[in-house]
Structure 1
Amino acid sequence: MMASSGISIGYLADRTGLAVSAIRYYEAQGLVEPWRNDGGQRRFHRADIRRLSFIMIAQQIGFSLPEIRGFLKALPGGRTPTPADWAKISEGFRKHLDQRIETLVQMRDKLDGCIGCGCLSLPNCALYNPHDRAAQKGQGPRYLMGDRAETENDSE
């Protein structure tokens, strides 16, 4: 139910399609900040409907909760975000999406050559990782994570 002093967690769950337990989890993660009314009930801002919708979309795209928390820090507390506030947050979100798209395109384009070894810094990849150079860049699939493979000419 809606009240002049905010909305209930049940109403918020109905509007967003989230379970009450999920909303409480997001609260524990610092993604929404309800307050308690005189009767001790959680109350949320109407703007939390949009905030929770953003969280659901961002998770569906593959963003982690810490990343989402970082985006949401740009929104004002204690008032409904304006279109300008959301435009600011979307700029940073867009940059992250562009980076993810670029990584996926690189992965797609290199998949044929790398599917056998996975670029996990294996010394037997003469094409992308001669002499196990990728190991010097760190753990994991370095070239799929955005590191560039050095050619023989680069090291001279």
Structure 2
Amino acid sequence: MRKSDLIPIGEMARRTGLSVSAIRFYEDKGLVEPVRSAGNQRRFLRSDIRRVSFIRIAQQLGLTLGEIQAEFAKLPYGRTPTARDWKVISTSIRRVLDERIAELQRTRDRLDGCIGCGCLSLKKCALYNADDHLAAKGPGPRQLLAD
């Protein structure tokens, strides 16, 4: 590894648009792993710019840090991921996103009517939830929960 392959945390922050503390947080969560210089300063691989950028995008898409970490386990460490590496991740994330989109569409389509909360306080509840039959399926908005 060449010295030019490593960048300090400030440069990582500048390149990714994140604060230094956010990058340290991701480090604490095991999402990035800096190398330490002789003076014990953090140095990141240039390929970590893509990893941190991916974290930002994935979080905006609603993925949890645990889900992101599981996807990162599929990537090689120590080299810039290839298009094939990212394709593996994008295929997996596409499935998660499709499930979330379907859930959002169900919610959108039912939100004007009954949300299946079991409240029986609206006149429509007698139609959608006669005799509070949804209560047997558990608490909360049963018609919209995807379990």
TM range (shorter): 0.7 to 0.9
3-state SS of 1:7 partner: strand
CA RMSD of aligned residues (A): 2.0
Post-superposition offset of 1:126? 3.3
> Residues 27 and 33 of structure 2 are in contact (CA less than 8 Å); yes or no, is this contact kept in structure 1?
yes
Matching residue of 2:65: 65
Matching residue of 2:116: 119
3-state SS of 1:81 partner: coil
Question: Percent same amino acid among aligned pairs?
Answer: 56
**Structure 2: unaligned runs, 5 residues or longer:** none
Post-superposition offset of 1:110? 0.5
Which structure exhibits the higher relative contact order, with contacts defined as CA atoms closer than 8 Å and separated by 6 or more residues?
A: 2
10-19 or 54-63: bigger deviation: 54-63
Amino acid at match of 1:45: L
Aligned residue pairs total 143
3-state SS of 1:126 partner: helix
Question: Structure 2 CA distance, aligned partners of 1:67 and 1:139?
Answer: 26
Matching residue of 1:99: 99
Q: Which protein is richer in helix relative to its size?
A: 2
Post-superposition offset of 1:5? 4.9
Amino acid at match of 1:122: C
**Structure 1: unaligned runs, 5 residues or longer:** 148-156
Matching residue of 1:153: none
> Residues 5 and 46 of structure 2 are in contact (CA less than 8 Å); yes or no, is this contact kept in structure 1?
no
- Can you list the C-alpha shifts for 1:35-68, whole angstroms capped at 9, x where unaligned? 2122211111111111111111111122222222
3-state SS of 1:107 partner: helix
Question: Structure 1 CA distance, aligned partners of 2:133 and 2:67?
Answer: 30
**Could you say if the C-alpha distance between residues 140 and 78 of structure 1 is closer, same or farther in structure 2, counting changes exceeding 3 Å?**
farther
Kindly report which structure 2 residues correspond to 1:1-156, keeping only aligned pairs within 5 A, or say none. 3-114=3-114, 118-122=115-119, 125-147=125-147
TM-score normalised to structure 1 length: 0.81
Amino acid at match of 1:14: R
TM-score normalised to structure 2 length: 0.85
